Amino acid sequence: MYLIIVGAGDIGGPLIETATRSGNDVVVVENDSQRADEIASEYDCLVLNDDATTKDVLEDAGADQADAIISTTAKDATNVMISLLAKELEIPSVVAVVHNPEHMALYEQIGVHTMENPQQLIADYLYRSVARPAIVDYMKIGEEAEVFEITVTESAPVVGKTLQEAANEHLIPEDVLIVAIERGGQDPPITPRGNIEIAAGDLLTVYSGFGADPELTDLFGHVEDDPQ
């Protein structure tokens, strides 16, 4: 894949590392000369020390052959301008970081894929790690729904019950689905079916339409983790 990455800062830097390590053809546009030199010396990619809000620069970066462009600068106005130019140059996939949620509608209007304020996402993740330590990993979907991983303890009400039994006894709410079960390092994970019995130590991937609230995590045996 041919990628143009604009910005080599806190977000762009790790992205460049991931993209080059995965074997993609990467072109980086960075207007800070020192940062551009650092990236050029560290990664196998072409680096342009220039201003990506100029159409000619994006053309020099190979917009005509790019599969995607990702704008990661610290300013929404800059990311919007780059996105508009990328659309004009018909780059197939345009992705940008959004720092101010109020600007989301603007990005949507111009048809740009967005990543909302990474710093806020990190802060939310860190808070969740403290407030709900039972949650191994999670991802929000929309306003309320979440997908998360949680380990079943020996005291969990669902231990020893099949998924069908847990549903029949209304232990598992209707808008909650067990998506995958990892057991004892087994690879691949167990595909959840009605006759599969839940065991202590299982690592469950769970979808919840109302998020990972205490009543739900209690179901998997984590009452002691309830926030005070």
Indicate if the pLDDT at residue 181 is higher than 60: yes
Predicted pLDDT of residue 204 = 94
119: its two tokens: 């710093």
Quote the pLDDT of residue 164: 94
Task: Region of 141 please: left (phi>0), alpha (psi -120 to 50) or beta.
Answer: beta
DSSP letters, the chain, are -EEEEE--STTHHHHHHHHHHTT-EEEEE-S-HHHHHHHHHHSSSEEE-S-TTSHHHHHHTTTTT-SEEEE--S-HHHHHHHHHHHHHTT-SEEEEEESSGGGHHHHHHTT-EEEE-HHHHHHHHHHHHHH-TTEEEEEEETTTEEEEEEEPPTT-TTTT-BHHHHHHTT-S-TTEEEEEEE-TT-SSPBPP-TTPBP-TT-EEEEEETT-S-HHHHHHTT-GGG---
Please report the pLDDT score of residue 103 as a whole number: 81
pLDDT of the residue at 131: 63
Averaged pLDDT, 84-95 = 95
Q: Which two tokens stand for residue 147?
A: 């997908």
| Stated pTM of the model | 0.64
The pLDDT, as a whole number, for residue 136 is 76
Distance CA 47, CA 105 (A): 31
CATH architecture entry for 122-225: 2-Layer Sandwich (3.30)
pLDDT of residue 60: 97
Domain boundary assignment for the chain:
2-116, 122-225
Cα 153 to Cα 53, 62, 82, 135, 180: the distances in Å are 53, 53, 49, 13, 17
**Residues 138-163 pLDDT 10s:** 777 777 888 999 999 999 999 999 99
Report the range of poorest mean pLDDT among 93-97, 101-105, 178-182, 197-201.
101-105
Which homologous superfamily does the CATH classification assign to the domain defined by 2-116?
Answer: NAD(P)-binding Rossmann-like Domain (3.40.50.720)
148 dihedral zone (left: phi>0; alpha: psi -120 to 50; beta): beta
